[in-house]
Amino acid sequence: MSKQPEDCAPLARDPLSAAQAGELAALFKALADPVRLRLLSLIASQAGGEVCVCHLTDAFELSGPTISHHLKVLREAGLITGERRGTWVYYRVRAEVLGRLSAVLVPAEVPA
Amino acid sequence: MSKQPEDCAPLARDPLSAAQAGELAALFKALADPVRLRLLSLIASQAGGEVCVCHLTDAFELSGPTISHHLKVLREAGLITGERRGTWVYYRVRAEVLGRLSAVLVPAEVPA
DNA sequence: CGGTTGCTTCGACATACATCTATCTTGACA
DNA sequence: TGTCAAGATAGATGTATGTCGAAGCAACCG
Asked if the Cβ–Cβ distance from A40 to B11 is below 8 Å, we say: yes
pLDDT tens digits, residue range B89-98? 999 999 999 9
Query: Can you tell me the distance from the alpha carbon of B6 to that of A40, in angstroms, rounded to the nearest whole number?
Result: 20
User: Which runs of consecutive H residues, i.e. helices, occur in A1-112?
Assistant: 18-31, 34-44, 53-58, 64-77, 95-105
Nearest to B44, CA basis, from B95, B10, B81:
B95
Evaluate whether residue B73 is within a structural domain. Answer: yes
B79 Cβ contact partners less than 8 Å away, ≥ 6 residues apart: B27, B30, B31, B40, B93, B94, B97, B98
Sign of CA dihedral B31, B36, B38, B39: negative
pLDDT tens digits, residue range A14-49? 999 999 999 999 999 999 999 999 999 999 999 999
More confident residue, A86 or A8: A86
Chain B residues 65 to 84 with C-beta below 7 Å from nucleic strand C: 65, 67-69, 71-72, 82
> Does the structure show a pLDDT above 60 at A1?
no
**Chain A interface includes B8 (CB < 8 A):** no
Query: Can you tell me the distance from the alpha carbon of B68 to that of B111, in angstroms, rounded to the nearest whole number?
Result: 46
pLDDT band at A9 (very low <50, low <70, confident <90, very high): confident
pLDDT tens digits, residue range A46-105? 999 999 999 999 999 999 999 999 999 999 999 999 999 999 999 999 999 999 999 999
Low-confidence ranges of chain B (pLDDT < 50): 1-3
- Report the pLDDT value the prediction gives residue B112, as an integer from 0 to 100: 61
Evaluate whether residue B98 is within a structural domain. Answer: yes
Evaluate whether residue B8 is within a structural domain. Answer: no
- Report the pLDDT value the prediction gives residue B72, as an integer from 0 to 100: 98
Reduced to 3 states, what is the DSSP secondary structure of residue A89?
strand
Query: Can you tell me the distance from the alpha carbon of B62 to that of B64, in angstroms, rounded to the nearest whole number?
Result: 7
Asked if the Cβ–Cβ distance from B12 to A107 is below 8 Å, we say: no
- Report the pLDDT value the prediction gives residue A2, as an integer from 0 to 100: 43
- Report the pLDDT value the prediction gives residue B21, as an integer from 0 to 100: 97
Evaluate whether residue B74 is within a structural domain. Answer: yes
Evaluate whether residue B83 is within a structural domain. Answer: yes
Q: Which of B35, B41, B96 sits opposite A15 (nearest CB)?
A: B41
Q: Which of A15, A32, A105 sits opposite B38 (nearest CB)?
A: A15
Specify the number of domains making up chain B. Answer: 1
Domain that holds residue A76: 18-105
What does residue B78 show for φ and ψ, rounded to 5 degrees? 90, 10
Evaluate whether residue B29 is within a structural domain. Answer: yes
Asked if the Cβ–Cβ distance from A44 to B105 is below 8 Å, we say: no
Q: What is the CATH number of the domain that holds B66?
A: 1.10.10.10
